[in-house]
Structure 1
Amino acid sequence: MKSYVTSYNGLFTRRAADTPVVERIEIPIIQRDYAQGRESNGVARIRSNFLDVLQKALETGTPLSLDFVYGDVVNGTLRPLDGQQRLTTLFLLHWYLAWRADRLEQQHGWKQFAYATRPSARRFCERLVKSKPPGDVNVRAWLEDQSWFLHTWQYDPTIQSMLVMLEAIHDRFVAVDSCAAWNRLVDADAPAISFHLLPIEQMGLSEDLYIKMNSRGKPLTIFENFKARFEQVLEGSCPERVEEFAQKVDGLWANLLWPYRDDGDGIVDDQFLRYFQFVTDLCAWHDGRLPSGDLTSLAESIYGTENDNAKTHVDFLIRCFDAWVDADISKVFSETFTLTPSPLDSEDTRKVVLFGLPNTATVNLFSACCFGQMRFSWPRTLFLYAVVLHRLHSTADFPGRLRMLRNLIEASSSEIRAEKMPALVADVRTLIVEGNLDGVSAFNQAQVADERLKATMLECAPALTRHLFHLEDHPLLRGCLAAFELDQAVFERRAKAFHKIFVNKNFSLLTAALLAAGDYSRSRNRRFYQFGSGSNPSQWRELLTGASRAHLTGTREILDRLLDAVAEHDGDGRSALEAFTSRWLAANVDSEGLDWRWYFVKYPTMRSGNSGIYVGLNGVLGYSVCMLDKSQMNSWYRDPYLTAIQRESGTPSAVEDPWFTGYETEPRRMRLKVSGIEIQCVPEGLQLHAPADPSHAEAFSRFCTAREIGPDLLLKVPKVVAANGYQLDAQDRVRLGAELMRALVDDGL
C-alpha cells in the first residue's frame, strides 16, 4: 500500500477507499520510552527546534510536513514503527490547544492515543484527555496535584518526558491565539501540520521489521547526533577532511577507544565525546578564549567557518586522536607517572610523581579523560596536554621537562584557574616543546626562578640529580626546594637528613627540635605566626613551600642548622631529634630566662594545635598566646600555657576544658568546676579570679593568704632581664601553675 498525506487528527477520518481505517494509535511494547521531553542539553535543543517549527506553522498557517510515519494498522489500531516521538508530541499539542481553546469536550479522534510500553503511561494518557485544568495554571504542577496522579509515576520516564514537553509547549504557546492555532491544527482540508503515513500490511510486529526500519527501541545517541552535525561543520570549513574524519571515527578511533567502553552497553560514544571535549577546549585556549556552551556549539565555533584557525584546529584534533592509534596507552602512562615516590636508594627517578590523588586513582590520564574523571581538574588536564605534545613532537628530555611542569603546577594553586588556562596552556607548550623556561609567565614565578637555580646546580654537579629528584618527590615538598640552600657541598647530606626526620611519626618532635634550632616561624600577617603542626602534614607543606626563596630565608637557615645536626647523629631520625632537643633544653634551663620558645619546646601540649598557627598579644609571641586549631580567631582555640598547666597538674578533669574564641585581646580564663575560681596566664604571671559563689570566698581568701598572694590575686613569676631588654621568666610558670591548681583542688576548691 502506498503512502498518503494526513494530519494527526485526520488519521481518524477515512479519506479514500484504499486507505486503512484508523480508530486509535497505540505505541507498541517494543518501542522505547518517549524521549523528546528528556532533560538534557542535547534533547532540550532538539525539543526547542521542533517546537519552533510547530509554532511557526500554527501561527502563520504555513504548511509543515513531518515526513514519513511508518506503521502497521491491524483492526483499526495504528502501531507506529517509526514516528512514535512525533506522534506523541502531536498528541500532547492537541490536548494543550484543545484545553486553551475550550475544545476538550468535542469528540475528536486525537484522544484515542495510548502507550502499550507500560500500564502507567497508558493510564496517564487516558486521564490526560479527560482532564481540564482551571484557567491559566502551571500545567505540570496541576496535573501532578490531581488525585489520580500516582506517586510512582515520578519514576516513569515516559510520563516525566510528557510533563516536561507539556511545560515546554505551555511556555511556547501561552501567548499564541489558541483558537486560531487549534483551527489550523484540525483543519480537515488544509491542516497546518501533516505527514505521510505509510501503512505496512500483513507484516506483524516482528523485531526484524523494527531493525529494517532502523527503529530498534533505542534513541539516537547524543554522539550520533553530534557526529552528523560535526560532519556538516567540516563540510563548510574543511571539506577535504570530512571523509577522513568519518572513516577514522568509525574505524581507527573506535578501535582505539574500545578498551575504554562502558561495561553496560559496550559502546564508546561518551568516551569519544569526552576526549573530543578535551581537545576542543585546548583549541579554544589556543585561540586565547575560554570554552563555553555545549559541545556542539563549541565545536561549531572552533572548527567552523567563522574561525580563522579552523583548519589548524581540525588538523590538531585529528592528530590528537591519531597520536594514540596502535599505542599501548596504559604502558605509556605507567612508564611516565607514578603515585608513589621511588625508594630513596633507587637510582631510577624518571617517573614523575602525581600528588594529591587517592591511591585508587589511575595514572592513565587518557583513560581518566575518557571516563570523565578529569572534570574540573586543571592540573591533570595540563599533564595530559603535555603527554599529547610529547607524542606529537617527540620532544627531547621529556621526563625532565615533565618534572619541571609538575613542580610548577604544584606551586601554582593560586595561578591555576579557568580564566588563566589560555596562558597556562601556552606555558606548557613552551616548556614541553621548546624546553624553555624563559617564556613561562603564567605559572608561579618564584617557582620558575627556583627551577632555574636547580638546573644551574645540576649542570655543575650532575651527581646530585638523584638526591634532588628524591627530595622533590617528598610529599611535603612536591617539587619546591625553596627551603633548602642549593649548595653543592652540603646538599646531599642535608637531603638525606630531611628524609630521615620528616616523617609523620616525628612531627611533634620536629616542632620542638626546629624551635630549639631557632624561631623558624613565618609571619602570615602582623599577628599570626605559622609553625609546623604536630599532627597536620599540610601545615608543614605550607611552611616549607608557600613562599618565595627570599621570604623563606629565616626558615631555611634554621632548617639547615637542624639538618646539619641530624646528619652528624649516628642514630635514626627520632633519636636525632630527641638528642638535639634535650641538649638545647639542658643548655637553656639555667640561662638568662625562660622565653616562649623554651616553654614550647619543653611541653608537647603547647605544640598540639592542628593548624600550627599562633597569635600573640600585640603581635608578639610571649606569655599571652592563642594556639589555633583552625586558621581564624572566630573558631575555637586553646591557650597553650593554660593547656599545659591543666595537663601537668595531674588533675585535668578538675577544670572545664579550656577552649576559647574571639580576639587575642580578650581574657582567657581556665575555670575550676567546683569553686568557679579562674586562672589566667598574663605576662607578669598567673592571675586568679575569685569565685562568684560566696560559699567559697572564705576558703579562697585563706588559700591566698597562705601562699602570699596579694589583693591583686596575682601569683607573680620571678623575672630576669635578658640581654635584649625583655623580661623573661626566671622560673617555670607552667610548673608553678600546675602546683597552684593541685593545691586549689586539694583544698576542695
Structure 2
Amino acid sequence: MANYLTSYTGLFSSDATDDAPAVRSIEIPLIQRDYAQGRTDGRVQEIRARFLDVLYDALAGDEKVGLDFIYGDVEDGTLRPLDGQQRLTTLFLLHWYLGYRAGQIAEQQPWMSFSYATRPSARLFCQRLVKAVAPPNVADPTAWIVDQSWYLYVWKHDPTIQAMLVMIRAIHERFGDCDARLAWERLVSADDPAISFQLLPIDEMGSGEELYIKMNSRGKPLTAFENFKARFERSISWAGEKAIAFDQRVDGVWSDILWRYRGNDDIVDDEFMRYIAFVTDVCEWRLGRVPNGSSFENRALRLFGTEGAEAEECLTFLFHAFDTWVEVDIAEEFRRIFTFRPVSADDEGRPLLLFGTDANVNLFDACCRHYDSRYKGRFSYGRTLLLLAVILNRADPSDEFPRRLRVLRNLIEASESEFRPHRLPALVADVERIIVHGSLEEIKGFNKAQAEDELAKWAFLDEHPHLAPALFRLEDHQLLHGSLQAFELDADTFGHRVTAFESLMAAPVKWRALTGALLAAGEYARRRNARDLQFGSPSNGEPWRNLLTGTARANLVNTATAMGAVLDAVAAGTASDTSLREVRDAFLREREQEGYFDWRYYFVRYEAMREGASGIYASVGGAMGYRVCMLNKTQMNGKYRDPYLTALVREAGASGDVIDGEEGPFFIGGYVEETRSMFLRKSGTGLRCAVDGFVLKPPSHSEFLERFHEIRANSGLDEQLKLVILQEWRDNRHVDTEDRIQAGARLLRDLVAAGL
C-alpha cells in the first residue's frame, strides 16, 4: 500500500502528487480517545516535554524530524486518523501558536480545517480558536483564551479542550523564546518542511472502526520503552546496518535475554530501560562527562544519535553489553565470579567475595531490576562499577581477571566517601585501567590509601604467591572488606597471624579479652580527631572496622605492631583465651613491679574500663590519662561513662548504691573538659575523678553530715576533700605510684558502710 511523505500544511496543499489523496479537512473520529498529550499526570508531562523538545529542535535549529506513520481514512476530502491524532492535534495547536505570533493567521487558511467529532464542544472550540488572533507578545496565551467572550464557561468540563489549553501553555513555555517568524517558515515550508510524517491511507483495509479495534487490541497505550525505542531507532539511523541490527536485536535475541528477568507484568520494557540507562551512564562516564539533570532518554538520544567517533564507540559498547549475554547462563556466570561466603583456602577457582546486604550476586539481574540514573535506587555505585568490570572483561578475557576484580572490590569497599556523581568519570577510568590493562598506577578516583595498599599487596604476592590463599581469606573477612593496612606484610609471620585473627574475631566472645591484650601490647588506638581515639569494642564489629581500615598503612603502625604481637602470642599458644590472659598478666606484673600505674595499666587490669560499645574514648587534647570519657556511641550528646568511676564502683561492689549504677554512673551530654561527679543514691554524696586522685562532695542532706565528716577524718582526705594518689614524674608526665581504683574502692565501701 502506498504512503506519502508530507507535513501538516502539506496535507492541504494543492501541489500534492496526483496519487496522494486530496485532504481539505481533518476530523478526529468518534472512536478515538480524548487528547491525551495534554493530560497533567507526571508521566504524560515528561512525554509532552520530550515531544516539544524534538519539535523545538526542528523549528528553532536545523535538525529536521520525521514523526513516523499517520494512518487514516480519507473520504470526501476529510482525513479521519486512526493512529496519529495526538501528533496531529499538537501540530494544529503549534500552527496556531506560531501563526499568531508571526502574524500569519489574519485570514482563513486550509490548515485551520481541524475539528473533533468526539464532542461538539471540542469541535466548536477548534473553530473559534483559529479565528482568535492573540497579541504577539501576550504573557500567557492560555489565560488570554479563557478570558475571551467566545470562550464558554462549560468548556472547563471538557477534557479535550482542557488538554488543548494545557498543551498551548506548554508550547508557549517551550517556544516563547524562539524566532516565531523563522520557526513558522520552517514549519510551513512546501519544499523542505522541518517536521514531516508519512501519511498511510487505509481505505483498502476495511472499515475504520474495524481497523481501529485491530490496531488497539492491547487496550493499552504504548509503553515508555516503546516510545523511546522508536525515537532511538530514528536517532541512530546514521549508523546504517547497525541501526537495522539494533531494531532486529531489540525484538529478538536481546528480548530473549531479558525475558528471564521480566516482572509481574510479563513484559521486559522496564528491564530494557534500566539496562540501557546503565549503558548510557557508563558511556558518558567513559567519555569523561558527568550526566546532567535531563532524563537518560534525552541524553541517550543525544549521545548515540550525534554521528561521529564518540557515538560509534558508544554504540559498539551498547551492542557488546547486550550481545555478551546471548545464550549465556547469566545467573551461573555471576555465581562463578561472586559469592557471599568465604571459600576454602585450597579452592583454586576462588570466587570474589561480594560484601553487602543484597544477596543477589547476579549483577545483571539486579541492574535490570533496580538501576536508576538518578542514583537513588538499590543498585549502588559499587555494583555499577563491578558490573562494568565484568562486561569489560567479557570483551577481552584475561586469566588475571579474578585477581584484578578482587583488587577492584577492595578499592570499592574503601571508597564510599569518593562515590559522588562528579567523580564517576575518574572511577570508571580507574576500572578500565585495572580490569583491561591490569595496572594500579595512576589511580585517580578511588581511595588513595587503599590504592597504595593494593600495590603493596600485589608486590607481596608476586614475591610470595603461596600466601595468596591466606591473604585472600583475610581480605574477605567481614571486619576488613579488603583493607589490610593494620597487618604487617611479613612472609614469616603472615600465615599464622591470619589464622589467629580468624580465630579471635570469629565471635564477640573473645573481644573483651582481646582489647586488654592489645592494649598490653601497645598503644594500639587510632586517632579519630583532636579529641577522640578509636579502640576496639568488646561487643560491636563496626568499631573494629573503623580501627583497622580506612587510612594509610603509615597511620596504623602502632595498631599493626600491637596486633602482630598479640596474634603471634595466640599462634604460639595452645588456646587463644590462655594466650590473651598471659599477654595481659605479663604486662600487669611488669607495671606493678615498677610501681608504674598509668592509664594503660588501669585499662588493661579493669575490664569495666573497656566496656564502651563504640570503642571511642574522649579526653582533653586527645591524650589518654586520668580524665577520660567512655562513649557508648560516636558523640558525647548521648549517654557515656567515666571509665575510672565505672571501675571504682564495680570494684567496690556498690553498683546498687550509686545513681544510674547498674553498669556504672552514666552522664548525658556536656564537654570532655567538664568535671563529672557520681552520687550515692541515699545521701547524695558525690565523687569525681581528678588528675591526682578523687574529690568528694558533701551530702546534700544535713542528717548525713556527721557520718560524712567521720569518713573524711579516717580516710586521709585533705582540706579540699580530695583523696590524693601519690604520683611521680615519668616519661614527661605524672604517673600514679599506687592503684587509684583500689584506693577509691576502699573509700567508696567506707561511705556505703557508714550509711551514706
* TM-score, with structure 1 as normaliser: 0.76
SS in 1 for 2:689: strand
Return the alpha-carbon distance in structure 1 between the equivalents of residues 517 and 751 of structure 2. 34
Structure 1 match to 2:719: 711
Please report how far the alpha carbon of residue 164 of structure 1 lies from its aligned counterpart in structure 2 after TM superposition: 8.3
User: Does 2:650 align with 1:656?
Assistant: no
User: Does 2:520 align with 1:516?
Assistant: yes
1:374-432 residue CA offsets vs partner (Å, 9 max, x unmatched): 76321111100100011111223111111111122222233332212112111111111
Structure 1 match to 2:305: 304
Q: CA 1:552–1:284 in 2, change beyond 3 Å: closer, same or farther? A: same
Return the alpha-carbon distance in structure 1 between the equivalents of residues 272 and 246 of structure 2. 13
Q: What amino acid is aligned across from residue 147 of structure 2 in structure 1?
A: R
Identity of aligned residues (%): 40
Residue of structure 2 aligned with 1:529, choices 524, 529, 533: 533
Q: CA 1:649–1:168 in 2, change beyond 3 Å: closer, same or farther? A: farther
Q: CA 1:620–1:67 in 2, change beyond 3 Å: closer, same or farther? A: farther
What are the equivalent positions in structure 2 for 1:82-481 lying under 5 Å apart? 99-101=146-148, 103=150, 113=158, 210-214=212-216, 216-236=218-238, 238-263=239-264, 265-292=265-292, 293-305=294-306, 308-343=309-344, 345-348=345-348, 350-355=350-355, 357-358=356-357, 360-372=358-370, 376=375, 377-481=380-484
Please report how far the alpha carbon of residue 600 of structure 1 lies from its aligned counterpart in structure 2 after TM superposition: 1.1
Structure 2 match to 1:560: 564
SS in 2 for 1:659: strand
SS in 2 for 1:478: coil
Return the alpha-carbon distance in structure 2 between the equivalents of residues 174 and 324 of structure 1. 47
Q: CA 1:513–1:703 in 2, change beyond 3 Å: closer, same or farther? A: same
Return the alpha-carbon distance in structure 2 between the equivalents of residues 549 and 522 of structure 1. 12
Return the alpha-carbon distance in structure 1 between the equivalents of residues 640 and 112 of structure 2. 71
Structure 2 match to 1:616: 619
Return the alpha-carbon distance in structure 2 between the equivalents of residues 615 and 426 of structure 1. 41
Structure 2 match to 1:56: 98
Q: CA 1:618–1:46 in 2, change beyond 3 Å: closer, same or farther? A: closer
Return the alpha-carbon distance in structure 2 between the equivalents of residues 442 and 626 of structure 1. 37
Return the alpha-carbon distance in structure 2 between the equivalents of residues 673 and 164 of structure 1. 73
User: Does 2:735 align with 1:737?
Assistant: no
Q: CA 1:173–1:316 in 2, change beyond 3 Å: closer, same or farther? A: closer
Question: Is this contact kept in 1: 2:522–2:558, CA < 8 A?
Answer: no
Please report how far the alpha carbon of residue 335 of structure 1 lies from its aligned counterpart in structure 2 after TM superposition: 0.2
Instruction: Return 5+ residue gaps in structure 1 as ranges.
Output: 1-18, 116-124, 129-160, 176-195
Q: What amino acid is aligned across from residue 712 of structure 2 in structure 1?
A: C
Q: What amino acid is aligned across from residue 284 of structure 1 in structure 2?
A: E
Q: What amino acid is aligned across from residue 386 of structure 2 in structure 1?
A: F
1:496-524 residue CA offsets vs partner (Å, 9 max, x unmatched): 11111123322222211101111111223
Q: CA 1:231–1:462 in 2, change beyond 3 Å: closer, same or farther? A: same
Q: CA 1:275–1:704 in 2, change beyond 3 Å: closer, same or farther? A: same
SS in 2 for 1:687: strand
Instruction: Return 5+ residue gaps in structure 2 as ranges.
Output: 1-23, 54-89, 131-139, 178-198, 661-665
Question: Is this contact kept in 1: 2:535–2:616, CA < 8 A?
Answer: yes
1:96-115 residue CA offsets vs partner (Å, 9 max, x unmatched): 766433556678xx678589
Return the alpha-carbon distance in structure 2 between the equivalents of residues 493 and 699 of structure 1. 60
Structure 2 match to 1:144: none
SS in 2 for 1:266: coil
Q: What amino acid is aligned across from residue 476 of structure 1 in structure 2?
A: L
Return the alpha-carbon distance in structure 2 between the equivalents of residues 347 and 637 of structure 1. 46
Please report how far the alpha carbon of residue 54 of structure 1 lies from its aligned counterpart in structure 2 after TM superposition: 6.1
Structure 2 match to 1:689: 697
Question: Is this contact kept in 2: 1:257–1:272, CA < 8 A?
Answer: yes
Stretch of structure 1 that moved more, 411-420 or 491-500: 411-420
Question: Is this contact kept in 2: 1:349–1:469, CA < 8 A?
Answer: no
Q: What amino acid is aligned across from residue 718 of structure 1 in structure 2?
A: L
Q: What amino acid is aligned across from residue 239 of structure 1 in structure 2?
A: G
Question: Is this contact kept in 1: 2:38–2:167, CA < 8 A?
Answer: no
Stretch of structure 1 that moved more, 562-571 or 661-670: 661-670
Return the alpha-carbon distance in structure 2 between the equivalents of residues 693 and 747 of structure 1. 15
Return the alpha-carbon distance in structure 1 between the equivalents of residues 255 and 706 of structure 2. 90
Question: Is this contact kept in 2: 1:669–1:678, CA < 8 A?
Answer: yes
Q: What amino acid is aligned across from residue 231 of structure 2 in structure 1?
A: R
Please report how far the alpha carbon of residue 641 of structure 1 lies from its aligned counterpart in structure 2 after TM superposition: 1.0
Question: Is this contact kept in 1: 2:52–2:174, CA < 8 A?
Answer: no
Return the alpha-carbon distance in structure 2 between the equivalents of residues 68 and 381 of structure 1. 50
Residue of structure 2 aligned with 1:541, choices 534, 541, 545: 545
Return the alpha-carbon distance in structure 1 between the equivalents of residues 231 and 717 of structure 2. 89
Question: Is this contact kept in 1: 2:277–2:372, CA < 8 A?
Answer: no
Stretch of structure 1 that moved more, 311-320 or 379-388: 311-320
Please report how far the alpha carbon of residue 566 of structure 1 lies from its aligned counterpart in structure 2 after TM superposition: 0.5
Structure 2 match to 1:42: 46
Question: Is this contact kept in 2: 1:649–1:739, CA < 8 A?
Answer: yes
Structure 2 match to 1:186: none
Q: CA RMSD in A?
A: 4.0
Return the alpha-carbon distance in structure 2 between the equivalents of residues 743 and 66 of structure 1. 105
Q: What amino acid is aligned across from residue 557 of structure 1 in structure 2?
A: T
Question: Is this contact kept in 1: 2:512–2:539, CA < 8 A?
Answer: yes
Stretch of structure 1 that moved more, 270-279 or 599-608: 599-608
Question: Is this contact kept in 1: 2:38–2:165, CA < 8 A?
Answer: no
1:33-80 residue CA offsets vs partner (Å, 9 max, x unmatched): 998322136335157665766643565665796999997x8xxx8999
Please report how far the alpha carbon of residue 213 of structure 1 lies from its aligned counterpart in structure 2 after TM superposition: 3.4
Question: Is this contact kept in 1: 2:38–2:166, CA < 8 A?
Answer: no
Structure 2 match to 1:151: none
Please report how far the alpha carbon of residue 371 of structure 1 lies from its aligned counterpart in structure 2 after TM superposition: 0.4
What are the equivalent positions in structure 2 for 1:590-601 lying under 5 Å apart? 590-601=593-604
1:584-642 residue CA offsets vs partner (Å, 9 max, x unmatched): 33443343222111211222221122222222234321111112233334444321112
Stretch of structure 1 that moved more, 731-740 or 661-670: 731-740
SS in 2 for 1:615: strand
Q: What amino acid is aligned across from residue 533 of structure 1 in structure 2?
A: S
Question: Is this contact kept in 2: 1:593–1:719, CA < 8 A?
Answer: no
Q: CA 1:65–1:688 in 2, change beyond 3 Å: closer, same or farther? A: farther
SS in 1 for 2:260: helix
Residue of structure 1 aligned with 2:630, choices 627, 632, 639: 627
Question: Is this contact kept in 2: 1:401–1:432, CA < 8 A?
Answer: yes
Stretch of structure 1 that moved more, 241-250 or 438-447: 438-447
Return the alpha-carbon distance in structure 1 between the equivalents of residues 152 and 348 of structure 2. 83
Q: What amino acid is aligned across from residue 727 of structure 2 in structure 1?
A: K
Please report how far the alpha carbon of residue 313 of structure 1 lies from its aligned counterpart in structure 2 after TM superposition: 1.2
Question: Is this contact kept in 1: 2:52–2:171, CA < 8 A?
Answer: no
Residue of structure 2 aligned with 1:494, choices 476, 493, 497: 497
Please report how far the alpha carbon of residue 369 of structure 1 lies from its aligned counterpart in structure 2 after TM superposition: 0.6
Stretch of structure 1 that moved more, 398-407 or 693-702: 693-702
SS in 1 for 2:247: helix
Stretch of structure 1 that moved more, 713-722 or 483-492: 713-722
Question: Is this contact kept in 2: 1:458–1:464, CA < 8 A?
Answer: yes
Stretch of structure 1 that moved more, 590-599 or 436-445: 436-445
